[in-house]
Structure 1
Amino acid sequence: MKDFLKMLGLVAVFSLVRAAIGLHNYEIGIDDTNIYFVYVRNLHEGHGFVYYPGGPHVEGFTSFLWTLFLTLVYSIRFLPFETTVLVSCLLITASIVYLYFRFVKARFGEIYGWFIALFLVLTPGFIDWNVFSLMDLPLWILSVSWALLLLIDGGRKKLFTVIVVLLPFIRPEGLLLSGALVVLRMFREYAAGLTLRRAILSNLVALLAVVTAIVIFTLFRIAYFGYPFPNTFYAKVSVSLGSNIKNGVFYFYDTVRHTSLVPAVLLAISLVTIIRRRYWNQWRAHAGIIVLVLVAGFFLVYPFLTGGDHFRYSRFFQPLFPLTALLAMLLFQPWLAANKTRRTLVLPLLLVWLNLNSTDITSFRESFATAAGAYFSRLGPDLVRQSQLQSEFDIAVYGRSAARHMNEVLSACDSLPSYGVVAAGGTAYMYKGEIVDVMGLNNPEMAHADRIKAHGVKNHGSFNKQVFYRQAPDLFLSYPDPLTSELVQTDANAMAFLTKLRDPAYFINRVCQDIFNDPDFKGRYRYSRISNGAKHFYGFVRTRHFETHCPGLTVTALD
């Protein structure tokens, strides 16, 4: 307990520093977290797993178990809901750090335990993602790390079984990893001296439990949602393998530039060392290292198969980073311990280097000289700079603010217009009417319209014009919009926003397949000011709903 309190204090201190220097608007998490909150509220109110009351069943969230946990928190909270989730994330993150601290301390001593604890909290994005985003990532890292460390230790089989059975419910990649971890435990026990038959039989219950859980969960998904995988898979990941690998290369490039170079360097040096020393020739003695390398390999390869995502700080690589530090520790601790001066120099310098990254915006296609110059010109310590995730927090806050303002303007309507959005979290949580997610994450028809997403921006390629016209939201986008954060509501600013939307290079227009320049769209929607006399906002409207249900509003076409 004493060590856990130390790690809790460490995480709390770094979180306070991050909140004071690097973050603002973090109280409600990022916009994707607010999508979770939408489902949590609807589930708590008895509507089921739906994006809006009366809507289709849809699994527009990534972690089923995190959704259930948040629903429990929502039901029994003793603090404001988001605050309770923040405290929960802080405790889970401290548990991650404690697991690694305890594991390394037991083998190499307390100084090395503190090194790996500091390695975690100084990794750019670790605090931002695990404590402040309020997403499922800390639960995922905790579960995977716990299962792996138990596997290397070789003890507490019942606890190991419970964790691997839960992995498919925490993240979709758990469907692959859970069974693989059981097989690796068979290998670990075989390497420790059991016969192959005994090693298999010893873990047969765990393997059957994993298979049973996956089958039941998949059958439930098909029966309830109509599909075997989350809707997020069909909306984001279902592009060609070639495109995913290409995006994965960009994702890795972004990681070493904008998150940290150190994990990649540690992993490369570790793999070269393993190959040069031919660890596989003495695989029984090095079974723990082999297991660690294979699991690290899974987290290294997975983003190349799925294409990664658009978020900063390498969310998909975050579980890999502590594994690279642990692997290096297992391989090189004797070398460090042999010379006190070496240890005193190497460990602090490594931690300083770990926290350095660049905020440049050069692309993978730039020349080496241009990319290198930009990288070093913007290189600095991440801990004392604004978080690269800040825009994701802002979108959630601005989305709630914009939707709250719209509710006030539309309060005279006897039926609120259906509202088509691109940013589908904070807006949907606050808007009182039906929300149409045109990016498809929470819209099964949109997500399944094109099996291969051969267009659009990474993770935003599901928009389909035919589906959009068929669903025909009464109101599409709004100004102010959560992606623009503009709060000055004048006709001139609104028209400037319209000009942006019609620019083929503008993000919203790109993900919406240039619909704002589509003659069909211009014939069906008018860019208008919607006013109740005291307040107003702007958006694309289909006038029929407003004429029928909102007689007290003035809708003035601006284009």
Structure 2
Amino acid sequence: MLTLKGSPFLILAFLASFGVSYYILSYGHIHEDAYILFIYAENLANGHGISYYQGGSNAEGATDFLWMILLSLFNMLGFDTAIAAGILNSLGIAVTTAVLMSFFTKEYRFLFVVPLSLVLWTSDVTAASIAGFSTGFYTSLVAIIFWIIANNNKQTIYFLPLVSIVMGLIRPDGVIIGVVATIVGLFLVRENGQKIERYLKFVVLAAAIGISYFIWRYSYFGLLLPLPLYVKNTSSALLPGLASHKDWFGQNYILIFSALSLLAFSKYRKILLLASIPVLTLFFILTFVTLSQNISHRFQAPVVVLCILIISFQLSKLRLENKHLVASFLLVSALVVYDNVMALKLDIQDLLAKVYINYLPNNLKDDVKSETVITLSEAGRFAYWVGGKKIDLVGLNTPEAALDGASVDLMERASPDVIFIHTAGTVILEDLCDSNFCFTSIDDIKERVIYENDWREVSDRVVRVPYVVFEYLDKYEHDYDILMVSYYGKYRHIYAIKKQGDIDVDSFVSALEKSFIDEYHLPYLSIKKTH
């Protein structure tokens, strides 16, 4: 029987993940929203504090606090931020692979670990990781927590609170997993007849770390929570996360049903349920949260890892001489991998797409001064590559907009040199232009607004922004030149350039024209060499 050696296979796991990440950086770009956290990591590394732009006030639009700190440290050591993200995510995926491998004896590793690893390596975890998010690194903590609870080892169980607090510092939704996992650990310690007092000492230590963090962040930012959490709690829908869950289920239903089927007939059902409760609690709570920026279903990625680990744990306990069971497992694995690869292929194509917004900021960067004021709703790529003072109208990176929402008053006080927004489905402009971009007027835009809404009554922060900007431009129509730009086949982007502002409109148009020419389509790493 073929055997599988642990270390070489884990190195392969790392190299496979990092190789895809490096390929994306060499020929394409990371996702729009991943750039936001990179801004904070690099500002911190360069001595500008945790801020959205150099010279800006302390703000945290980067919800993944510990992830940001780690990227910043790598940046200080000379690593490019995106390369550092690829390294950390690849390490995380290797750790998760090691956890699923640990359940099997050596004689069965090749037969079962290879297919299960392929499921992991082609899953939403990898798709979100190569886009620049912390998913691979973050879900490795999910795997470690599952491993500690499922093995119910009387020594490692004591470390569960410390792993949990680390997870909570990586991502805010990790707090939910960590708290529930700590409670599960207390239950197991009591059930095992172990020393509860010793476990509680670790709980107190973890709590002290958490409390110290919140005291520090309140004194530094003036707020207890990252700005995106204020923005995402503004939906008026009863179950705002349900649609995202349905979409995720449609892509992963074979994996989900396989895990549930094995769990239902398992004699280890109790310990598996206990190991599953932390992640399932998070999944339930996310149903009541607006899951914006849910790229490649990254918010559901912990459940994907949970399903893979449930299957791994249960298969390791079964009598594997049953050829029908083995054949069924291999068939199901092949189906899941096929579905994953098809979805991953689309994600990679999107990251490699030659979209103008990947190149406009680089073409424009020399025209933007440090005092240039930019208000925007697309807060990633544009803000990452150009300087200036940026105000995020959605509120993910600007405290006032996060707490109170965008407003005309905020726009008037900013008096921006450049306005850049996504129309968010509020207006249809296709009859006005038949080229990559066109000049337009606020009157033409207002005539084509789909729904006449008062921005004060719009709870969705993304949809609110266009209405605010339209009213502002209507009030100051003679001060701005307005352009509509094609983005994925429709005129979804609107720019307004102040006539007496820091950026000459002809320079902006020149930069925009270059952004649609292949000669100026540089990938991430090539642009980084010019900065």
TM-score range, shorter chain: 0.7 to 0.9
- For the pair 1:126 / 2:125, whether they are aligned, the reply is yes
2:248 aligns with 255
CA separation in 1, counterparts of 2:26 and 2:301? 23
Cα 1:543–1:427 shift into 2, 3 Å: same
- CA deviations 1:154-193 (Å, max 9, x no partner) are 233565443223122111123333232222112223333x
> Is the Cα contact below 8 Å between 1:35 and 1:61 reproduced in 2?
yes
Aligned residues: 475
> Is the Cα contact below 8 Å between 2:60 and 2:221 reproduced in 1?
yes
Cα 1:330–1:73 shift into 2, 3 Å: closer
Identity %: 17
CA separation in 2, counterparts of 1:27 and 1:473? 30
* Deviation for aligned residue 1:142: 1.1
* Deviation for aligned residue 1:236: 2.2
> Is the Cα contact below 8 Å between 2:45 and 2:72 reproduced in 1?
yes
Superposition RMSD in Å: 3.8
Consecutive unaligned residues of structure 2, counting only runs of 5 or more, are: 423-432, 452-459, 484-492, 511-531
CA separation in 1, counterparts of 2:257 and 2:439? 46
> Is the Cα contact below 8 Å between 1:165 and 1:210 reproduced in 2?
yes
Tell me which amino acid in the other structure corresponds to 2:131: S
Of 452, 468, 471 in structure 2, the residue corresponding to residue 518 of structure 1 is 471
CA separation in 2, counterparts of 1:107 and 1:497? 68
1:527 aligns with 481
1:474 aligns with 417
* Deviation for aligned residue 1:444: 0.6
2:365 aligns with 407
1:298 aligns with 281
Tell me which amino acid in the other structure corresponds to 1:166: V
CA separation in 1, counterparts of 2:18 and 2:358? 24
> Is the Cα contact below 8 Å between 2:168 and 2:175 reproduced in 1?
yes
> Is the Cα contact below 8 Å between 1:8 and 1:91 reproduced in 2?
no
Equivalent runs, 1:445-524 vs 2, <5 Å: 445-450=400-405, 463-477=406-420, 493-495=436-438, 503-504=448-449, 510=463, 512-515=465-468, 517-518=470-471, 521-524=474-477
* Deviation for aligned residue 1:354: 1.4
Tell me which amino acid in the other structure corresponds to 2:243: F
1:458 aligns with none
TM superposition score normalised by structure 2: 0.77
Cα 1:140–1:551 shift into 2, 3 Å: closer
- CA deviations 1:8-66 (Å, max 9, x no partner) are 3145347657987xx68766522222112211221122221111122121111011111
Of 1, 7, 10 in structure 1, the residue corresponding to residue 10 of structure 2 is 7
* Deviation for aligned residue 1:139: 2.0
1:532 aligns with none
Cα 1:171–1:491 shift into 2, 3 Å: same
* Deviation for aligned residue 1:201: 1.6
Of 423, 433, 440 in structure 1, the residue corresponding to residue 395 of structure 2 is 440
Consecutive unaligned residues of structure 1, counting only runs of 5 or more, are: 280-284, 358-380, 451-462, 480-489, 530-536
CA separation in 1, counterparts of 2:61 and 2:337? 34
> Is the Cα contact below 8 Å between 1:477 and 1:540 reproduced in 2?
yes
1:323 aligns with 306
Tell me which amino acid in the other structure corresponds to 1:136: S
Q: Indicate the SS of the match to 2:33.
A: helix
Q: Indicate the SS of the match to 2:103.
A: helix
- For the pair 1:220 / 2:220, whether they are aligned, the reply is no
> Is the Cα contact below 8 Å between 1:122 and 1:354 reproduced in 2?
no
Cα 1:434–1:326 shift into 2, 3 Å: same
1:282 aligns with none
Cα 1:501–1:330 shift into 2, 3 Å: farther
Q: Indicate the SS of the match to 2:496.
A: strand
* Deviation for aligned residue 1:69: 0.5
Equivalent runs, 1:35-184 vs 2, <5 Å: 35-77=36-78, 80-105=80-105, 111-123=111-123, 125-130=124-129, 132-153=130-151, 154=153, 155-157=155-157, 159-184=159-184
Tell me which amino acid in the other structure corresponds to 2:201: V
1:350 aligns with 332
TM superposition score normalised by structure 1: 0.74
Q: Indicate the SS of the match to 1:92.
A: helix
Q: Indicate the SS of the match to 1:545.
A: coil
> Is the Cα contact below 8 Å between 2:263 and 2:310 reproduced in 1?
no
Equivalent runs, 1:227-306 vs 2, <5 Å: 227-240=223-236, 243=237, 246-257=239-250, 259-270=251-262, 272-273=264-265, 287-306=270-289
* Deviation for aligned residue 1:338: 5.1
Cα 1:310–1:105 shift into 2, 3 Å: farther
Q: Indicate the SS of the match to 1:518.
A: helix
* Deviation for aligned residue 1:522: 4.9
